[in-house]
Structure 1
Amino acid sequence: MTDDLTPGAASGSTQPSIDLSKYTLTSAAEVVHHLRGIVQQGQMVTVFSNKGKSFILTRILALDNVARTMVLDWGANEHANKLFLESERNIYVCSPAGVKTQFTTGQPRRISFQGGDAFEVALPEQVIKLQRREFFRIPTPIANPVLCQFLDHPAGELALPLADISLGGAALVLSTAQAAKFHIGDHYQVSIELKPFGVLQVQLEIRHLIPVQHKNGQESIRAGCCFANMNTPRETMVQRYVANLERERRALVR
C-alpha cells in the first residue's frame, strides 16, 4: 500500500492513518470487476484534481480492459474540466451500495465519445474498497445541530454543523462557497460541544469532500473528517455522546 492512495498524503502529514492494505484490490481482474459494478449502477463519482483544490462530479461511461483505459463523462463546469485535464494525479471517490471506493489515476485526455466530449484515463492499478465502517457512526440532530468551531482557520472563526459523528471522526456540512476554503489533508484545531458531556477539543483532518444533491435541487458539500489526536478522555466523551444519541433514537422509534 502506498501513501499516494491515502487522502491528504500530499500534505506531508505525519499523523497515523488506518491500515488500508486489507481493503485494497490489487489484481487487474478485481479492479475491473469492481469498476464495472460502478458503471452498471450509474454511480456518480467525485474526482479531485489540482492537488485536491478542485473537483468534478462525473460517471464512468466505459471500460476497455484490453487498452487498460476508462472513459468518464464530461463535467458541467468547464473551468473544473480544464483543471482536471491539466492535473497529473487525481483522486476518485464514490460509494456504490454504501461501500466507499477510492482510487487514483494519472492525467486524463480529452476524447470524443458517442458524439460528445469525454475524458479518457488509464485504469487504476489498485482500488481501495472499504467494506465496513471502522467505527459506529450516528447522525447528529438536525433541529438542534452540533456545531464544529474552527479555531485556527485562515479565513477566521468558522462554525459548521455536523452531519454525523463517530469515535473516529465526523462529517461536516458545507456550502459550495465554504468548501472552497478547505482542502483534502488540511488539519485544524476545533471545538465541538457534545452536550451534556462536555466540549471536545481535538484536531480534525479533512479526508474527503463530496458533493451532495438534495431533493430540493440544492447542493452542499459533505466533508468527511477524522480525529487526529484522540486520547482516552476524548474517546470516552465521544463514546458517551454517541451512546446517548443512539438511546434517544431508539426511544423515538419505539
Structure 2
Amino acid sequence: MPSANEVQLANPVFEIDQPEEFSQFLLTNPREIAFYLQLLAKQRSIVTVYLDDGRHFFLSSIVAVDLSENLILLDPSHTEESNLAALAASRITLVATLDRVKMQVRLSNLKKLTYQGQNTLSSNMPGLLLRLQRREFFRLEPPLSHPIQCKLATTKSDGSTQTFELTLSDISGGGVSLIAAVEQAANFPRDSLFQDCRLEIPGEGVIQVNLRVRKTIEISSRNGEHSLRVGCEFVNLSGTKLAFIERYITRIERERKARDTGLSD
C-alpha cells in the first residue's frame, strides 16, 4: 500500500505536454514564470509533485524562488522513499492552483539542498509554465481614477483609416467592454475584427491585442446620458499577454480588498 503522501494512479494527462491544444496558456518569459512561482511560494500553496510518468506523486510546497541562483526550492516529502524516488526521477511535473487557475511546470534533476537552514529539493528554474483557466473569466471594472484606454482603427470603404480611442468599462482574460457614443454603433457591427488594438493599462504598460465584436448594447447612466457598450473578445491572445492582463486584475483586486479591510497604506 502507498503511504499517505505517495500515491499510485493510472497515467495522468498533463496539458503542458499538449502545446498544440494549449499554446495560448503557455508562458516562456522568465519574468512571468518567476512571478507566478513566487506567488505560489508566498501563499504556501499546495503543489503536487508527479514523478516521471506521473503514476507516483506526493504533496509539497514551494519554499522559495531564488533568482540569483536560478533555482526553485521545494519542501521534501515526509517519507524518505518518496524523496529518493524524486531524486532519481528524470522528469518532475508540478501541478498547483492559484486563484482558481491550474498551473503546471516541468522540472528535472532534483537535488538535496539546505536553504536558509531548511532541507529542500532544488531544481533549475523551469523554462515553461502552463496557466489553464477553463472557467468563465472574472471581469474587473477598472478604477475610475485610472481608466484603461483602448486605441483601435478600421479601414473605411474609401480606403481611409478611422481611429477610435475608447474607455474600457470592464476587462477579463477573455475580452473587454468598450464605451462608445451611440451614434458610433455602425462602426462596430457584430463579428467585426479590429487588429493590433492598443490597451494602455495603468501601472503595467501597453499591449497590442486583436478584438472581435460580440455584441453591442445601448446603456444609460444615472444622469440619463446614453452610450454604447461594445463587448469584444480577444482573438489569438498569447499566454504572455493573458498573464499581463491577469496580473493587472489581480493587483487591482488586492488593492481594493486592502482598502475594504483597512489594510492599505
| TM-score between both structures, scaled by the size of structure 1 | 0.45
| TM-score between both structures, scaled by the size of structure 2 | 0.43
Greater Rg by CA: 2
